[in-house]
Amino acid sequence: MSDLSAFSLAGRRILVTGANTGIGQGIAVSVARAGGAVVGVGRSAMDETAEKVAAVGGRFEAVAADLGDPAKAAATLDRIWDESGPLDGLVNNAGIIRRADAVDLTDADWDEVMDINLKTVFRLCQSFARRVLAEPGRRGKIVNIASVLSFQGGIRVASYTASKHGVLGLTRLLACEWAPKGVNVNGIAPGYIETNNTEALRADPDRSAAILGRIPAARWGQPEDIGDAAVFLLAPASDYMHGAVMPVDGGWLAR
């Protein structure tokens, strides 16, 4: 497919977790700009995202859910499918980070990060695939938001790094199982993006300067940088991609 329709999401319905701000909001707006209908799922208000989606002529449906409870998150996807129709794509974006020296990290901070960043991701993938595979001929696309820390260690973010290494492995595993069955599973590894999760780093002059000095693109990323990459992985243009995790990092990993 060589025309622009290869990059269109017209007629497709995409669920995006954590769409209230940051990368999730950027993905929602990019999906809408590409013609897709967005279902935003999260526990925070998504009014600002709804306004931004409307501004580009898109449709946005907000669904409240506790993504910290993997079973409830999976049940929410099933309810959306049953009550308002099938989904064509799933973007697992919601995630949290806890910063502490490894010797000081608490069990609570470990468990909360792993539940949201990894277990909920798996349960949502599982629920989505079950629904797609139950309908002969239906296809679906999953995009998991990993991190450059899926490939590196980082510092003071033990549970986050472990969870994002897990997302990388899970993306590859699910791709191997579901590629022949009509479900594409791929991921994006964002670099340092201007979001709430990186606010503490950007507020630290020394850390911010060190990070910026290593990025070949010489700037922090913007949420739309990730959003446009997600559109590609949700669109027909990426139909032969399975198990890929694309760095969108300004060249960070190439350095």
Active site residues: 160
CA distance 37 to 61: 8
- 3-state DSSP of 199-225: HHHHHCHHHHHHHHHHCCCCCCECHHH
Q: How far is CA 236 from CA 7, 10, 110, 240, in A?
A: 6, 11, 37, 9
- 3-state DSSP of the chain: CCCHHHHCCCCCEEEEECCCCHHHHHHHHHHHHCCCEEEEEECCCCHHHHHHHHHCCCCEEEEECCCCCHHHHHHHHHHHHHHHCCCCEEEECCCCCCCCCHHHCCHHHHHHHHHHHHHHHHHHHHHHHHHHHCCCCCCEEEEEECCHHHCCCCCCCHHHHHHHHHHHHHHHHHHHHHHHHCEEEEEEEECCECCHHHHHHHHCHHHHHHHHHHCCCCCCECHHHHHHHHHHHHCHHHCCCCCCEEEECCCHHHC
